[in-house]
């Protein structure tokens, strides 16, 4: 049963039911708190050559599937690890498939652009054995920001390069420049541009009247798609990557959680790894991925799922602004966390019920449901 022990699975179901019941009954889940999941510690990987849960790859849901012609991120990452590649190379090459896929409008080529119609990409990587990281932010015209982030880790003494400096670094390393805006993403941007306000001079096709273009029933909220992928090798070494085109229609220069070590990604080779997708501002403000890994370090029996739930709860508790809350007082945005321990146990959680995550473990790639704080429709 995936990376969970049967005992943990039952506890997780009970905990989910408990928080669901609290929410359904109108109780405040923040006051209710989070049921604590426990699992029996497993043998240290590599100690006797026996590491029953390894290797493992986890990712956000876009780590599995995609167009029929292409392999998925978790499949390629697993294949590379089994062929002897290190887990950092494995996850970076895994997400590269998604970065190159124009049908995923949240990552790389074909990502949704900023408010000026320019695609700006963010990515970070972290490698457990060396505890080194690399990141780029606001990178334009390069399809694979995660590969550039890996080179920042490998070929500089720095942790992050941004904007023009990141582009120059990519050029110096032979990356090809290209227009990342596909026709589909350009049209989506233009539609947003022409409809998001009725107080400007942009008119949609067929509209002759200024002030009439904003469709009140359209949801022009921004989107935050991203891919996070973390892996533990057969030897118990850990690596992770997070890569994104960030918030759609963002203010140029806006940087989310994905390239920020400790927010959208964190790896500790003694403990595990965590990453996130969703509203980056909320993740940055609780140091999401670091919070999860530190929670797992603090309590070696805390499951990755429960560590992710704790981080979701922290976001709920810290979301104070009325404009970011529903009428029930909950966050009106989505955040998902994904985590894996060094022993190969893994989990994911979302504030609201619904999202899934991708996993390749036990010789099988599949999607599993994220744990959650609030059931659908509550
Ligand atoms: N989590 C992606 C972003 O907020 O940019």
As for ligand 1, residues whose beta carbon falls within 6 Å of it are 224, 226, 244, 246-247, 256-258, 264, 277-280
Confidence of residue 220 (pLDDT cuts 50, 70, 90): low
Question: Both tokens of residue 307?
Answer: 């560590």
* pLDDT at residue number 199: 81
Q: For the chain, what percent of residues have pLDDT higher than 70? A: 83
| pLDDT given for residue 378 in this prediction | 76
Q: pLDDT tens, 362-375?
A: 999 999 999 999 99
Mutation to probe ligand 1, out of 247, 287, 351 (largest number of atoms < 8 A from CB):
247
Report the nearest-CA residue for atom 4 of ligand 1. Answer: 280
Specify the pLDDT at position 377: 77
Q: Which domain holds residue 41?
A: 27-198+218-374
The minimum-distance atom of ligand 1 relative to the CA of 264 is 1
Q: Does residue 141 sit within a domain?
A: yes
Give residues with Cβ within 8 angstroms of 100, minimum separation 6. Answer: 108, 109, 143, 144
- Buried b / exposed e over 297-313, threshold 16 CB at 10 Å, is eeeeebbbbbbbbbbbb
| pLDDT of 211 over the 60 cut | no
- Cβ neighbours for 40, distance < 8 A, ≥ 6 positions apart: 5, 7, 301
249 in a domain, yes or no? yes
| Look-up of token digits 């993403």 | 185
For residue 297, how far is its CA from the centre of ligand 1 (angstroms)?
Answer: 25
Does residue 67 lie in a domain region? Answer: yes
Task: Answer yes or no: is 207 within a domain.
Answer: no
> Can you give the pLDDT at residue 70?
85
Residue 150 included in any domain: yes
pLDDT interval class at 25 (50, 70, 90): very low
The pLDDT, as a whole number, for residue 42 is 37
Contact status, residue 153 vs residue 161, Cβ threshold 8 Å: no
Write down the mean pLDDT value for the chain. Answer: 86
Interval between CA 264 and ligand 1 midpoint (Å): 8
CATH of the domain at 330: 3.60.20.30
Query: What value does the mean pLDDT take over residues 234-244?
Result: 98
Nearest-atom index, ligand 1, CA of 246: 5
Residues annotated as part of the active site: 226
**How many independent structural domains does the chain possess?**
1
Mean pLDDT, residues 8-31 taken together: 33
Stretch 24-29: mean pLDDT: 29
CA of 5 to the centre of ligand 1 (A): 32
Any domain includes 14? no
The structure's pTM equals 0.86
Please say if the pLDDT value at position 19 is more than 50. Answer: no
User: Using an 8 Å Cβ cutoff, are 90 and 239 in contact?
Assistant: yes
Q: Is the pLDDT of residue 215 over 70?
A: no
- Rounded Cα distance between 255 and 106, Å, is 14
In a domain, 213, yes or no: no
Collect all residues with Cβ–Cβ distance below 8 Å to 206 and sequence separation of at least 6: none
Is pLDDT above 50 for 26? no
State the Cα–Cα distance between residues 72 and 65, nearest whole angstrom. Answer: 6
Is residue 319 one of the residues assigned to a domain?
yes
């Amino acid at each position: 049963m995936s990376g969970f022990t049967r005992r943990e699975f039952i506890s997780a179901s009970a905990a989910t039911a408990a928080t669901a019941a609290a929410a359904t009954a109108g109780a405040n889940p923040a006051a209710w708190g989070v049921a604590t999941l426990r699992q029996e510690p497993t043998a240290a990987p590599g100690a006797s050559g026996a590491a029953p849960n390894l290797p493992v790859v986890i990712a956000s849901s876009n780590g599995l599937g995609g167009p029929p012609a292409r392999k998925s991120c978790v499949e390629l990452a697993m294949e590379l690890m089994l062929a002897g590649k290190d887990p950092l190379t494995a996850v970076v090459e895994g997400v590269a498939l998604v970065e190159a896929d124009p049908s995923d409008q949240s990552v790389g080529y074909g990502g949704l652009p900023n408010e000026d119609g320019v695609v700006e990409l963010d990515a970070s990587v972290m490698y457990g054995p060396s505890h080194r990281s690399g990141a780029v932010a606001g990178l334009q015209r390069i399809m694979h920001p995660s590969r550039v982030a890996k080179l920042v880790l490998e070929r500089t003494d720095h942790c992050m390069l941004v904007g023009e400096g990141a582009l120059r670094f990519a050029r110096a390393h032979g990356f090809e420049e290209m227009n990342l805006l596909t026709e589909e993403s350009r049209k989506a941007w233009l539609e947003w541009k022409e409809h998001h306000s009725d107080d400007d001079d942009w008119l949609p096709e067929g509209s002759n009247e200024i002030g009439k273009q904003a469709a009140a029933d359209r949801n022009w909220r921004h989107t935050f798609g991203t891919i996070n992928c973390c892996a533990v090798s057969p030897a118990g070494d850990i690596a992770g990557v997070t890569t994104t085109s960030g918030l759609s229609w963002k203010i140029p220069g806006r940087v989310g959680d994905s390239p920020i070590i400790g927010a959208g990604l964190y790896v500790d080779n003694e403990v595990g790894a965590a990453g996130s997708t969703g509203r980056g501002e909320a993740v940055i403000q609780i140091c999401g991925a670091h919070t999860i890994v530190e929670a797992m370090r603090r309590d070696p029996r805390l499951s990755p799922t429960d560590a992710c739930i704790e981080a979701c709860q922290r976001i709920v508790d810290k979301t104070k602004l009325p404009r970011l809350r529903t009428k029930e007082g909950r966050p009106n945005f989505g955040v998902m966390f994904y985590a894996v321990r060094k022993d190969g146990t893994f989990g994911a959680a979302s504030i609201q019920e619904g999202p899934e995550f991708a996993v390749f473990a036990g010789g099988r790639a599949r999607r599993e449901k994220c744990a959650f704080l609030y059931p659908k429709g509550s």
